[in-house]
Structure 1
Amino acid sequence: MSKQRICELIAVLPALNEAGSIANVVDKLKAYGDIVVVDDGSTDGTGDLALAAGGFVVSHSVNRGYEQALESGLLWAAAQGYRYAITLDADGQHSASAIALFARELEEGADIVVGVRDRKQRWAETFFSLISKRLWKLDDPLCGMKGYRLDLIRAAGRFDTYSSVGTEFCIRAARSGSRIHQIEVSTSPRIGASRFGGGLRANLKIVRALWLGIIRAKTLDYT
């Protein structure tokens, strides 16, 4: 991690076996700020490729899951003194140019910026979105592209406690009255297979995250 930090904004990318896309994604993101790739136990050289492309790398020796990869990246960014973090998928689905929109919303006072995708991959995502819009006014909390004011992360000291598919923090923040803005984002077809898959197991994981969000998100506020 010898690369010098150049700005207040960092992109956080959880990655598991994304050798086919990671170098290209990091290269595109460099125009907008620093990048940290959380190599979540990859076996295909993802971390080495990210480092060679110009990113920072936080490595998990074994696969710890999407939520823990996000948490590691966000806590690392907070500890390094960055002001804002924007999470993106490492597979190239999110447009790098949208970072400027997210950054502007954060600079203008948003605590969290949540992307709203133009399409969803699984039926459980559509169901989650319908419920979350009604309960928390969040149109698409499962979107992997989100922006965070890192003071919130520092104050909380954690990001995920119940394998929420990346939704716990913004749900709790919404309940506590944090300033949450939402931005429509376009998505491109991913390269390679998704870490979640598309079958019954993936859909059940999403439904479980929704259920736990409903019964547990009220136990801790992020203000």
Structure 2
Amino acid sequence: MKVLLIIPAYNEEGNIVRVCSELRENYPQYDFVVINDGSEDRTLKLCEKYNFPVVSFPVNLGLAAGFQTGMKYAYREGYDCAMQFDADGQHLPEYIGMMIQEMEKGYDIVIGSRFVEFSKPFTLRMIGSHMISIFIKLITGQKIKDPTSGMRLFNRDVMKECAKRMNCGPEPDTIAYFLKKGKKVKEVQVTMKDRIAGESYLNLPKSILYMVRMIISLVFIQNFRD
């Protein structure tokens, strides 16, 4: 199975070399492309210095634009599946093979989940995730235990739709959309590392706003998506 790892990156100069070098040296069976989302630091220069495949935006367009650009790239280049893979080093490539094996069993989307075998903690950060899981269950009938996981593998059919539809971003409401369309989604247990360098764009206020936006989309907007 021909696989492309899509690595959206915004101001990841402290992580991008380590993440991409590990993939290149230890997992050469997987192709990858960095989507540089208008970084203001040395992310692009480092990608060019180390000859990492990169698509670069002149300005910051956001995660959804980076994700869709990567999906368009994967679809155009004939990949069988594409994985959303973070540039901050939290996603571990040793789980990619296991996720591909699950996809080969007939699943359309495979999610690297932190909570298949472990309970989700009731922390302030996870309250929104609990609520999103509840609403996805109510809307689709299927429970997604880690709806905010960014480690997701998509088959070619889903890749095509994400590449061609503007409203198929890398968010839990898109997973709900595909579940309602009859796509098969599987979660597999993974471990994720803490970020080593840089800061997440999701601080507490942004996290709360994100969760509210996702719930509104799941409850209301989903009914208008064909």
Q: TM-score, normalised by structure 2?
A: 0.84
Residue 105 of structure 1: aligned partner: 102
Q: Find the partner of 1:89 among 80, 86, 91.
A: 86
What is the CA deviation profile of residues 32-71 of structure 1, one whole-angstrom value per residue up to 9, with x for unaligned ones?
4001111111011212323444532111111111111111
RMSD: 2.3
Q: Which amino acid aligns with 1:18?
A: E
Residue 151 of structure 2: aligned partner: 145
My pick for the range that moved more, 145-154 or 50-59, is: 50-59
Residue 3 of structure 1: aligned partner: none
Alignment of 1:144-223 (within 5 A): 144-155=150-161, 157-158=163-164, 161=167, 166-191=171-196, 192-197=198-203, 199-221=204-226
What is the CA deviation profile of residues 11-33 of structure 1, one whole-angstrom value per residue up to 9, with x for unaligned ones?
01111001111111112223140
2:135–2:219 Cα contact (<8 Å) kept: no
Instruction: State the distance in 1 between where 2:105 and 2:35 align.
Output: 28
Deviation at 1:203, TM superposition (A): 1.3
- 2:9 counterpart of 1:15: yes
Deviation at 1:131, TM superposition (A): 2.9
Runs of at least 4 residues of structure 1 off by over 6 A?
A: none
- 2:73 counterpart of 1:76: yes
Cα distance change on mapping 1:52 and 1:133 into 2, 3 Å: farther
Cα distance change on mapping 1:62 and 1:15 into 2, 3 Å: same
Q: Percent identical across equivalent pairs?
A: 29
Instruction: State the distance in 2 between where 1:156 and 1:98 align.
Output: 23
- How many residues get paired? 213
1:196 match: secondary structure: coil
Instruction: State the distance in 2 between where 1:106 and 1:130 align.
Output: 25
Deviation at 1:130, TM superposition (A): 3.4
Unaligned runs of 5+ in 2: none
- 2:136 counterpart of 1:132: yes
Instruction: State the distance in 1 between where 2:161 and 2:135 align.
Output: 28
1:15–1:40 Cα contact (<8 Å) kept: yes
Instruction: State the distance in 1 between where 2:76 and 2:49 align.
Output: 23
My pick for the range that moved more, 43-52 or 176-185, is: 43-52
What is the CA deviation profile of residues 76-108 of structure 1, one whole-angstrom value per residue up to 9, with x for unaligned ones?
111111111111111001111011111111222
Cα distance change on mapping 1:103 and 1:169 into 2, 3 Å: same
1:153–1:159 Cα contact (<8 Å) kept: no
Residue 22 of structure 2: aligned partner: 28
- 2:64 counterpart of 1:64: no
Q: Which amino acid aligns with 1:25?
A: V
